[in-house]
Structure 1
Amino acid sequence: MTEPLGPDEERFRALADSAPVLIWMSDISMGGIYFNRAWLDFTGRPAEREAGEGWRESLHPEDLAPLEAAQAAFAVRQPFQVQFRLRRHDGIWRWMLNSGKPRFDPAGGFAGYTGSCVDITERFEAEEDARRQLRVMRTITDNAVEGMFLMDARGRVSFVNPAAERMFDWKSDELFGEILHDKLHYKRVDGSPFSIRECPLGRVFTNGETLNEHEDIFYRRDGTPVHVQCSIAPIRSNGRVDGAVLVVHDITYRKQAEEALRLSEDLFSAIFRQAIVGITEIDLTGRFLMINDRFCEIVGRPREEVLALRTQDITHADDVPNNMAMLERARATGEDYQLEKRYLHPDGTVVWVHNSVSVVRNSDGRPLHLVAVVRDITEQKRVEAEMMRANQDLQSALTEREVLVKEVHHRVKNNLQVVVSLLRLQASRLRDEVGSDALRESLNRVSAMSTIHELLYRSTTMADIDFAEVLRTLTANLHDAYGHNEDRVAMIVETDPVPVSMDAAVPLALIANELISNAFKHGFPDDAEGSVRVGLVRDGDTVVLTVSDTGPGFVPPKRSSSLGLMLVDRLVRQVSGELEMEPPPGTRYRLKFTLE
């Protein structure tokens, strides 16, 4: 009340006590001087306790700030309105809207304030709940991954959340008041204009139609297309559409993944259909789930028939146990496997196949089904069988040839032994020393050739012979032939294993025979003592044969007067070798040749 009070204060108090609101009066120092019946009933306190500063005891301790605002207004004699909590007589805090106006006496002097308190608890709590809901909604919209827009009845933007800003590269204040369709949905994929009248989202404004999970293409600020899935719903007021809420989810990556998957499926389908090998998908019991045309050709059955069968139903009976064991192992362990087996055509024709089987697993790693690549190897099996028969025939022929060649070598060796015996017998009858020596030399040469055939007869291969064994046998035979005692003339043979062909073995043996014979024959005159050393060293394809003795040295006669040396020269040329005679002491020959 801004008018001065009349003299009848009792009448005012009677009216105030009958009012349903809390009424109070203060003096010029803000001390309480009057509280109506409604106030006293509310606080449950007598007027004496409320007077002066007593009323503040019912004020919530956290609400002193509003009281300070009232004090500021009091100081300048201005009306005020503040909210605070006041404790009710039952101890419950209630929100009050406290309004106060300055009061003046008839002379115009400031007399204090008169005011009222209205219980606004329900309204305050409703407003606080609305504010809380608004904070929750703000938190949701600010942190949502979906773009959100609010529009008025004309499609103009009134709200944009941060996700929508990021999604389309527009700031919210740039879109406020703009028609959203004209910014994000203004053209078709081919670039032609797209009006809001044609847009299915626009129907929300014309007939209030809700559209859910609609897939479309919006455009970013720079014109880049964005694949979206969106839902739009009307906001109604008094039965009218006052606006709409649009929720947009960016599905560009999903669309790209779907396109990649589609291309992959198309590629797989093309490979599956046109593969030159059979491809099947079977469950863990062996039942066919999917097959390609090539597999139908392999098993000679139509698709419908095969899809009604299991793999074991068309497998040769002898191959079923192994087939099922491999299938069971794949089911138990998830291991891939390969096997060869036979399928049966309806007419009983056998088809050999090679199966490469892979296990397809679910997200937990457990086997779901099997995929097999089936290759027809019937022709390969036929060729292998023919090759096996041919190999068996060839092996038989080689065995017969080997037996025959061994028999030839054996007979040649025997015949040469007969010749040796005849020469030895003839030599024993000669009294001429020169003739006897000539026969002995011929005997040794024939014996060397006989040694070759003897070793070839005993050899496990017909292609070559170990020349080291030839040298050991030949040296021992010549040592005995010249009647040398081991204590007087020692023989030392140091050889590497050197396989030589049969064509090279005979000339090499004859060369070695001549060189070793000369060592035994001329190296130790007058029963001299010493040794004969025979060496054979291989370095890659190069071989060096050395024959030496520890005698006084040997001066070879002219080639034309020595049959043995002439024979050696020709044989060295035959094996494409190089023969050197090293200087004394002793006699040392060195033959170098190459293995072919």
Structure 2
Amino acid sequence: MKVSQKLIYGFLSVSLLTFVVGTVGIDTIKKFKGGFDYLQKTSMKTIEAGNLIDSNMLNLNIHLTRFLINPKENDDKVVESLLNNLTIAFSLYQEAYETAKSSNDPNSIKMKGFIERFSEYKKSLNSTINEIKILNNRKISEKVKKQKLKELLKLHIKGETIIKDLNEFEVMSGHQKVEGIDKAISLRILISNIITVASVLFALIIGIIISRKISRSLIKLRDSTIEISKGNLYTRVEIETKDEIGQLAASFNKMTEDLQKTTVSRNYVDSIFNSMNSMLIIISPQGIIQTVNPNTCSTLGYQCSELIGMKFDLVIDIKDLLSTAAWIRYLIKKERLNNVERSYITKDGKKISVLFSSSVILDDKRNVQYIICVAQDISLRKIVEEQLNKAQKYSQGIINSSMDMIIAVDTERKITEFNLAAQNVFGYQLEEVLGKTPLMLVYDEQAGNNVFQVLAEKGEFYGEITHKRKNGEPFIAAISITSLKDIDYNFIGFVGILRDITEKNRLERELLKYRDSLEKMVADRTSELMNANVKIKDSLREKEVLLREIHHRVKNNLQIVSSLLESQSRYIEDNNILAKFKDSQNRISSMALIHEKLYQSTSLSKINFAEYIKDLANNLFATYYINATNITLKVTSDEILLNIETAIPCGLIINEIITNSLKYAFPDNKKGEIIINFYCKEDNNLSLIIGDNGIGLPKDIDFTKTKSLGLSLINNLAKRQLDGLCEIVNNKGVVYMITFRELQYKERV
């Protein structure tokens, strides 16, 4: 109702108030009787609608749950039927709302709110049903089912909340209406008595009410406009009247709602646009860049402001195309282009491989507005592909360079690899065998099936199989087959390595022919060698006996010479000559001791020189009647075996040095010590060190020119006999250091 009409009707109602005062009582009773009837109709209808909605919502939730967890054949039809019943119940409540609205029922505002809540609930319900139908056409995990069950539960709780609020509203509304009717009847009776007085004041009251209502609505409009101008798009003008101001408020609210949706949608699109990992460029039909996303700028090295307004052909490499205009016409003609490999050009001129797609945006008249270009950087993928190709070529090169045949089959027993060695041996080209069964290469097909049976049981096979070439010629190959697995250890087939052993087997057969004759020859030769060995052993035993006898006789002869010298010395009164006789006797004894050691030795050619040194020194101590308490002997020696050629001069040297020490180093029964060290050095030289801590040699003696027989003998034996070095340290005693190698004469048997 217009504001002007309200004013006119207000004044007319005041004028007619007096006229209708008589009939107001009867009219009031009729109107309130009708209102009571209206109350019964609307309340019953809304209660009936609420019950229907509640029952259908419950059944629908039960069937949807079963439809999601364990769908049956007719569940979708039952769901559709319940959904239709729910729609009918909503329509029934809508009719009740329309009745209340047409009757200007103040509760119609809240009923409208329930209708909006029912509409939102139904929209969510339809969306959930569609998702469940889609999911039931797929195999979904328990996790997804649980998620959907949670959504169904939330939706059911939401519906139950609406029904609960509706029932509470209807109960409260019914009570309010009944109370309102009672109060209204009482009020009408009172009004009928005082209407005459009220008619005077009514004009003033209606004027105040209308003016305040209009001013209040205008204030709400003003405040809402201010809030929206601040950017608060959630502001709504709460005016529900049907007059010009109410219509203006409704239009204002609709405009704000549309603006809010547009803003939210734009923000959503902008968020997607800015977060895309791909490069997105929007160009005009003339090829001018209009918009770019941040990833495009960061990848190409431009600022966004630099790209906007730039020609697109400065960004994309189109040298292999006719022209930019022709290419854009091609994009417009195709309208959609998917996953074409092209190159983008960065700011520094570097080319980037991209996977290019485009789509044309048309207006209502199908005129081209924009061209959307989406590109994904595939430079890394290109590098990986190139590396994979190189690796594949490298692996293929290794396979083809193998001298052995390499054949691979897949899980269906089809040949997938046949290297050059296999092609050369079998006579097939690669394309002749790829995808075919390897049984075509086996001479006996049953033998090939047996191999596959072993592979199925053990996963590997080693043996020899007769194969056949393309011309039918058979040959024997040693074959080794193992399981073939991919990088994730999944079984993908078998790989076999073969080697033609036909020639090898032929040679083995020829060798077998000569084996028996060779074995006979070896047996005869062995028999001859054994007989010869027996003779040699007999001869060696004879020589060993003879050699022992020689050593024994030499030792005895030397002992006889020593005894003769001993007997002769008894008739010599000159002490100097007697001493010389004794020295000669000791030298002979040292040589005799060597022959005695050789006689006792098992080898008859070498003696244990460590034992010899101890025995020789002890004999000398006994010869000169040396008291062990005055002069002590300390011998340190490695276990060294010396031949007779080396042992005799060494023994004579030891004899001379110890004799000199015993005779001259410790006068007047002076106490002292004699040391003998004999060991092998790292360079395989032998070191003999003999010394004492006696009075030492005279300071002016020249070792190389001395007339002393003993010292001359030591020097000559060391240098000429042993071919070694001899050094003398004459300080607080005397130390002889002799270094030599064992003399290499032919070993005696």
TM-score, normalised with respect to structure 2? 0.48
Q: Which residue of 2 is the match for residue 471 of structure 1?
A: 613
Q: Who is 1:185 aligned against? A: 316
Indicate yes or no: 2:720 matched with 1:573. Answer: yes
Aligned counterpart for 1:231 among listed residues 338, 357, 367:
357
Higher helix share: 2
Identical aligned residues as a percent: 15
Alignment CA distance shift 1:504-1:443 (3 Å): closer
1:214 and 1:229 in contact (8 A); partners too:
yes
1:139 aligns with 2:280: no
Shift of 1:153: 3.8
The equivalences for 1:147-546 within 5 A come to 147-176=279-308, 179-180=311-312, 182-185=313-316, 187-188=318-319, 194-196=322-324, 199=327, 202-205=329-332, 207-238=333-364, 240-242=366-368, 243-275=370-402, 344=464, 346=466, 362=487, 412=547, 415-425=550-560, 427-428=562-563, 431-433=567-569, 438=584, 441-451=587-597, 457=603, 467-476=609-618, 478-479=620-621, 482=623, 484=625, 487=628, 492-497=633-638, 499=640, 502=643, 505-515=646-656, 518-519=659-660, 522=663, 533-536=674-677, 541=683, 544-546=687-689
User: How far apart, in 1, do the equivalents of 2:377 and 2:738 lie?
Assistant: 86
Unaligned runs of 5+ in 2: 13-100, 110-205, 442-446, 449-453, 467-473, 509-525, 570-577, 743-749
Q: Alpha-carbon deviation of 1:174?
A: 4.3
Cα pair 1:208 1:241 within 8 Å, conserved: no
Shift of 1:421: 2.1
| Compared CA separation, residues 289 and 593, structure 1 to 2 (3 A) | farther
2 CA distance for matches of 1:493 and 1:295? Answer: 80
Report which stretch shifted further, 161-170 or 576-585: 576-585
Residue 535 of structure 1: CA displacement? 1.6
Q: For residues 574 and 581 of structure 1, do their structure 2 counterparts lie closer, same or farther at Cα, with a shift above 3 Å needed?
A: same
- Mapped contact 2:562–2:588 kept (Cα < 8 A): no
Q: Measure how far apart 1:138 and its partner are.
A: 0.6
Contact 2:633–2:673, Cα closer than 8 Å, also in 1: yes
- Decide whether aligned partners of structure 1 residues 179 and 11 sit closer, same or farther in structure 2, where only a CA change above 3 A counts: same
What's the offset of the Cα at 1:517?
A: 6.1
Give the structure 2 partner of residue 4 of structure 1. none
Flag the 1:529–1:159 CA change in 2: closer, same or farther, 3 A.
closer
Determine the C-alpha separation between the residues in 1 that align with 2:422 and 2:591.
Answer: 72
**Contact 1:231/1:248 (<8 A) preserved:** yes
Moved more, 412-421 or 471-480: 471-480
8 Å CA contact retained: 1:523, 1:549: no
> In structure 2, what is the Cα distance between the partners aligned to 1:493 and 1:236?
118
SS in 2 for 1:258: helix
Residues 58 and 86 of structure 1 are in contact (CA less than 8 Å); yes or no, is this contact kept in structure 2? no
Secondary structure at the aligned position of 1:51 is classed as helix
The aligned amino acid for 1:220 is T
Please report how far the alpha carbon of residue 141 of structure 1 lies from its aligned counterpart in structure 2 after TM superposition.
Answer: 0.8
Q: More displaced, 518-527 or 437-446? A: 518-527
Contact 1:218–1:226 (CA<8 Å) still a contact in 2?
yes
1:250-296 per-residue CA deviation (whole Å, 9 max, x = no partner) reads 11222122222222322332233225688898999xx9986755699
C-alpha separation in 2, matches of 1:493 and 1:10:
150
1:187 CA drift (Å): 3.5
Could you say if the C-alpha distance between residues 531 and 160 of structure 1 is closer, same or farther in structure 2, counting changes exceeding 3 Å? closer
Note if 1:129 corresponds to 2:280. Answer: no
Question: Structure 1 residues 263 and 275 mapped into 2: Cα distance closer, same or farther (>3 Å)?
Answer: same
Say if 2:288 and 2:310, in contact at 8 Å, map to a contact too.
Answer: yes
Aligned residue number for residue 56 of structure 1: 216
Q: Which residue among 665, 671, 690 is the counterpart of 1:547? A: 690
TM-score by length of 1: 0.58
* Equivalences, count: 483
Cα deviation for residue 581 of structure 1 reads 5.8
The one-letter code sitting in structure 1 at the alignment partner of 2:555 is V
Contact 1:360 1:371 in 2 (8 A): no
Evaluate the alpha carbon distance shift between residue 121 and residue 561 of structure 1 in structure 2; reply closer, same or farther with a 3 A threshold.
closer
Asked whether the equivalents of residues 519 and 548 of structure 1 are also in contact (C-alpha less than 8 Å), the reply is: no
Please give the secondary structure, in 2, of the residue aligned with 1:185. coil
Report the 3-state secondary structure (helix = DSSP H, G, I; strand = E; otherwise coil) of the residue aligned with 1:536: strand
CA 1:467/1:302 → structure 2, altered by over 3 Å: closer, same or farther? Answer: farther
How far apart are 1:130 and its partner, in Å?
Answer: 2.5
- Superposed CA RMSD in Å reads 6.5
What CA distance in whole angstroms lies between the structure 2 residues aligned with 1:50 and 1:468?
144
Greater fraction of residues in strand: 1
Give deviations 1:211-241, integer Å, cap 9, x for gaps: 1111111223443212111211222333624
Q: Please report how far the alpha carbon of residue 249 of structure 1 lies from its aligned counterpart in structure 2 after TM superposition.
A: 1.0
Query: Any conservation in 2 of the 1:424–1:439 contact (CA below 8 Å)?
Result: no
Contact 2:587 2:652 in 1 (8 A): no
Partner SS state of residue 87, structure 1: coil
SS of alignment partner, residue 514 of structure 1? helix
